[in-house]
Amino acid sequence: MRLTISRKSHFNAAHRLFNKNWDDKKNQLVFGKCNNPNYHGHNYELIVHVTGELDPETGFVMDLKELSDLIKAEIEEAFDHKNLNLDVAEFAELNPTAENIAVVIWKKLRPFISEDKDLEVVLYETARNFVSFKGDF
């Protein structure tokens, strides 16, 4: 019997979307307001789904406290109240779009989730705009 457990989390962070290989005009055309040179912030909402077999001894797929602690340590500590472009090494050369942030979060969490379980990351950049990543490379 396979079930999915989920944990919600959030962090506030600033970013700027731009491609350093493009001129200002093209960056403005493609990224619009998100290209603001002085950055802007989002209240990111994160949902982490872990799917796996129900352990008959614990009745858990995974201990949600463990998942909660993991998200806090690996994601909230790294991203909350940070400038993603300047403060987070993963985005030094990677545009911090919602898509790329979701992939980075997935990569940071995956080593801590046992291999027999599936991991999906859903990241809301606004209440209406969100992306999901299941590790499809």
Could you list the residues that contact Ni ion (CB under 5 A)?
34
Beta carbon nearer to Ni ion, 7 or 42: 42
The reply to whether 15 sits in an annotated binding site is yes
Instruction: Report in angstroms how near the CB of residue 112 gets to Ni ion at its nearest.
Output: 28
Tell me, letter by letter, the H, E, C secondary structure of 56-89. Answer: CCCCCCCCHHHHHHHHHHHHHHHHCCEEHHHHCH
Question: Rounded to the nearest whole angstrom, what is the least distance from the CB of residue 61 to Ni ion in the complex?
Answer: 33
Note if 81 is an active site residue: yes
Least separation in angstroms between residue 12's CB and Ni ion is 12
Is residue 77 among the annotated active site residues?
no
Beta partners for 41? 14
d(CA 55, CA 57): 6
Catalytic: 125? yes
User: How many residues in the chain?
Assistant: 137
Find all residues with CB under 8 Å of 21, minimum gap 6, and list them. Answer: none
Query: Which sequence positions are flagged as catalytic?
Result: 34, 81, 125
Which residues define the annotated binding site? 15, 40, 42
